[in-house]
């Protein structure tokens, strides 16, 4: 029989051996990594002045992905903003990490955006350091702040996020819900995630627990290198978080650190994904590239001869996988750079060289016209169609009555299934103008062997392509 003293000795021995057992079984031990990296992770507090009673302003301090955010977004819709109350202070919080011994800190733009006061606190240090915002980039949700310290600060270095593989262990450090220096571990569960957070979505997905307050904190590989900046969560899921890849972030941060604003190339087109049906209608061997739905007048692409209906297949000899990939490739170039585009047009490849413009709010606004829509006619592919009248064209914000007005749609027909709506205007079919039902029927008859027809559709001032399958019969 084992005595109490022997049992105690056995328990202590097992406890001491657990890390070695874990390592022997291939399981990581995060003790040293957490202790060392945690020294460079900071707790960020913010303060801003806002009009009391305005739910829209109050909403701004709720982190993206927080389950309460939608509630605050909807509050003003039902009750309206409250007026006449005194301004009040709003408090926010987030995380960050030091990248330079002299006090340069990386965080998310949404952590410090609009703040009147930013303060920083370190692990096991009650001293608060006032911080200044050096630079911020809304499109990538990155920001750089700086503090003054009387001694060199511990730092974290960037690693290669391109090199990390799905399934590798990672460690997240931050301040979720104000719980200072919380450490969570998990794996990279996916790469290149697009979640609709911004124009350059390219997130690492991890199951290391990330919560409100983690924003701006580091996602570390087992070498202690930052391979991601924790940014967003999926509030409807459990333990699904997203981080900006370090290879993408490092370039932006290097500019922000110097007080510079990132300058990104701009084509001046609206683009969309190429579906399998659209590829078939265009005669493309595979659904790849980015389909040009609209070319801005006098925009760089317009001046270079890019046309509506072109599919951009390559940029400077690099294949374009989809519309998101095109956006990243163009934004990775500077205004004034040359972009050699390989386009698919009328069944063959053509080349155009574009001198890129500068991506800006004004330039993007020029690409998003706004207008209304509205609705007895011949039926084609489940759509009741009629030629557009001058009055209807005016109501739809069009200069001339061009195209066919969709009066009604059978939801079970190809058009309904592909999202055509009442009030849409069909401008082209397989890149041929259609101003009568006979025009459209002629294109369908001519190209029936393709198995699909691609329509250029105008809706609320925006053009987009929709491909409809054609019956083999």
Kindly state whether residue 144 falls inside one of the protein's structural domains.
yes
Say whether both 42 and 105 belong to one domain.
yes
Kindly state whether residue 5 falls inside one of the protein's structural domains.
no
Kindly state whether residue 64 falls inside one of the protein's structural domains.
yes
Kindly state whether residue 12 falls inside one of the protein's structural domains.
no
Say whether both 100 and 209 belong to one domain.
yes
**Beta partners for 193?**
203
Distance CA 321, CA 305 (A): 22
Instruction: Give me the helices (H) in 258-299, please.
Output: 276-282
pLDDT band at 320 (very low <50, low <70, confident <90, very high): very high
Q: pLDDT, tens digit, for every residue of 255-313?
A: 999 988 888 899 998 888 888 888 888 889 999 999 988 888 889 999 999 998 899 99
- Tokens 């374009």, residue located: 320
Task: Residue 466: count other Cβ atoms within 10 Å of its Cβ.
Answer: 22
Kindly state whether residue 18 falls inside one of the protein's structural domains.
no
Say whether both 256 and 293 belong to one domain.
no
More confident residue, 144 or 5: 144
Distance CA 136, CA 213 (A): 18
pLDDT band at 365 (very low <50, low <70, confident <90, very high): low
Regarding pTM above 0.85, the answer is: no
Question: Considering its fold, how many domains does the chain have in total?
Answer: 3
pLDDT band at 362 (very low <50, low <70, confident <90, very high): low
> Residue 394 is part of a domain; what is its CATH number?
2.30.42.10
- High-pLDDT (> 70) share of the chain, %: 80
Say whether both 222 and 168 belong to one domain.
yes
- Among the listed ranges 87-91, 270-274, 397-401, 403-407, which one has the minimum average pLDDT value? 87-91
Question: Phi first, then psi: what are they for 76, rounded to 5°?
Answer: -65, -30
164-173, 283-292, 362-371, 394-403: which has the highest mean pLDDT?
A: 164-173
Say whether both 194 and 274 belong to one domain.
no
Q: Please tell me whether residue 89 adopts helix, strand or coil conformation.
A: strand
Helix (H) or strand (E) holding 426: strand 425-429
Distance CA 363, CA 113 (A): 23
Strand intervals (E) in 259-392: 265-266, 269-273, 290-295, 311-315, 318-319, 338-345, 348-355, 357-358, 378-380, 383-387
Instruction: Give me the helices (H) in 64-106, please.
Output: 69-79
**Beta partners for 387?**
404
Say whether both 115 and 224 belong to one domain.
yes
**Beta partners for 118?**
46, 131
Residue 349 has pLDDT above 70, yes or no: yes
Residue 139 has pLDDT above 90, yes or no: no
Kindly state whether residue 398 falls inside one of the protein's structural domains.
yes
Residue 375 has pLDDT above 80, yes or no: no
Kindly state whether residue 6 falls inside one of the protein's structural domains.
no
Say whether both 356 and 319 belong to one domain.
yes
> Residue 228 is part of a domain; what is its CATH number?
2.40.10.120
Say whether both 338 and 414 belong to one domain.
no
Residue-wise burial string across 236-269, b where 16 or more C-beta atoms lie within 10 A, e elsewhere = eeeebbbbbbbbbbbebbebbbeeeebebbbbbb
Task: Residue 150: count other Cβ atoms within 10 Å of its Cβ.
Answer: 4
Say whether both 175 and 294 belong to one domain.
no
Say what the pLDDT of residue 11 is: 47
Residue 456 to residues 54, 168, 180, 319, 466: CA-CA distances in angstroms? 42, 45, 54, 25, 7
Average pLDDT over residues 405-418: 82
Say what the pLDDT of residue 378 is: 81
Residue 234 has pLDDT above 80, yes or no: no
Residue 330 has pLDDT above 80, yes or no: yes
Domain end position, chosen among 262, 292, 308 = 262
Q: Please tell me whether residue 364 adopts helix, strand or coil conformation.
A: helix
Domain end position, chosen among 195, 228, 262 = 262
Helix (H) or strand (E) holding 33: helix 31-38
More confident residue, 340 or 17: 340
Residue 225 has pLDDT above 70, yes or no: yes
Say whether both 210 and 350 belong to one domain.
no
Domain that holds residue 382: 378-469
Say what the pLDDT of residue 377 is: 66
Question: Do the beta carbons of residue 320 and residue 288 sit within 8 Å?
Answer: yes
Known catalytic residues?
110, 141, 215
Domain end position, chosen among 239, 262, 285 = 262
Kindly state whether residue 42 falls inside one of the protein's structural domains.
yes
Task: Give binding residues as ranges.
Answer: 47, 110, 141, 213-215, 231-235
Q: pLDDT, tens digit, for every residue of 71-104?
A: 555 544 444 554 545 566 788 899 999 999 999 9
Say whether both 348 and 447 belong to one domain.
no
Say what the pLDDT of residue 51 is: 54
pLDDT band at 5 (very low <50, low <70, confident <90, very high): low
Say what the pLDDT of residue 9 is: 56
Q: DSSP letters along 153-201, please?
A: PP---B--TTT--TT-EEEEEE-GGG-TTEEEEEEEEEEEE--SSSTT-
Task: Give binding residues for substrate as ranges.
Answer: 47, 110, 141, 213-215, 231-235
More confident residue, 220 or 18: 220
Question: Do the beta carbons of residue 323 and residue 255 sit within 8 Å?
Answer: no
Say whether both 353 and 332 belong to one domain.
yes
Distance CA 351, CA 341 (A): 6
pLDDT band at 21 (very low <50, low <70, confident <90, very high): very low
Structure tokens at 48: 């801003």
Structure tokens at 239: 């333990």
């Amino acid at each position: 029989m084992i005595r109490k003293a022997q049992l105690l000795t056995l328990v202590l021995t097992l406890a001491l051996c657990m890390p070695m057992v874990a390592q022997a079984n291939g399981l990581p031990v995060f003790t040293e990594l957490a202790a060392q990296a945690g020294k460079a992770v900071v707790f960020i507090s913010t303060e801003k002045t806002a009009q009391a009673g305005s739910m829209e302003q109050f909403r701004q301090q709720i982190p993206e992905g927080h389950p309460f955010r939608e509630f605050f977004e909807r509050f003003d819709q039902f009750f309206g903003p409250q007026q006449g109350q005194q301004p009040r202070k709003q408090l926010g919080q987030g995380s960050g990490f030091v990248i330079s011994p002299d006090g340069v800190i990386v965080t998310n733009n949404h952590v410090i955006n609009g703040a009147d006061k930013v303060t920083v606190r370190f692990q096991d240090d009650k001293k608060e350091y006032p911080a200044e915002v050096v630079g911020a980039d809304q499109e990538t949700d990155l920001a750089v702040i700086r503090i003054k310290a009387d001694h060199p600060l511990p730092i974290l270095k960037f690693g290669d996020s391109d090199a990390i593989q799905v399934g590798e262990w990672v460690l997240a450090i931050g301040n979720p819900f104000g719980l200072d220096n919380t450490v969570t571990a998990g794996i990279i569960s996916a790469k290149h995630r697009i979640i609709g957070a911004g124009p350059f979505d390219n997130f690492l997905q991890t199951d290391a627990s990330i919560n409100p307050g983690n924003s701006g904190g580091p996602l570390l590989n087992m070498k202690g290198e930052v391979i991601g900046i924790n940014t967003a969560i999926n509030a409807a899921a459990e333990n699904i978080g997203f981080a900006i890849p370090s290879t993408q972030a490092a370039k932006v941060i290097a500019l922000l650190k110097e007080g510079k604003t990132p300058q990104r190339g701009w084509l001046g087109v609206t683009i969309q994904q190429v579906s399998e049906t659209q590829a078939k209608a265009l005669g493309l061997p595979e659904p790849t590239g980015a389909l040009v739905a609209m070319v801005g007048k006098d925009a760089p692409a317009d001046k270079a001869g890019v046309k509506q209906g072109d599919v951009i297949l390559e940029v400077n000899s690099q294949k374009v996988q989809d519309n998101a990939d095109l956006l990243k490739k163009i934004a990775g170039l500077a205004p004034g750079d040359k972009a050699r585009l390989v386009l698919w047009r009328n069944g063959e490849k053509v080349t155009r060289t574009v001198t890129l413009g500068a991506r800006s709010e004004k330039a993007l606004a020029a690409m998003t016209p706004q207008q209304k829509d509205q609705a007895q006619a011949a039926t084609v592919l489940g759509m009741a169609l009629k030629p557009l009248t001058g009055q209807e064209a005016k109501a739809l914000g069009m200069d001339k009555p061009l195209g066919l007005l969709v009066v009604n749609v059978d939801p079970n027909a190809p058009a309904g299934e592909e999202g055509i709506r009442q009030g849409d205007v069909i401008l082209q079919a397989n890149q041929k103008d259609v101003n009568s039902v006979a025009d459209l029927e002629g294109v369908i008859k001519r190209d029936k062997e393709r198995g699909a027809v691609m329509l250029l559709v105008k809706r609320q001032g925006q053009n987009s392509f929709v491909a409809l399958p054609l019956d083999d019969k």
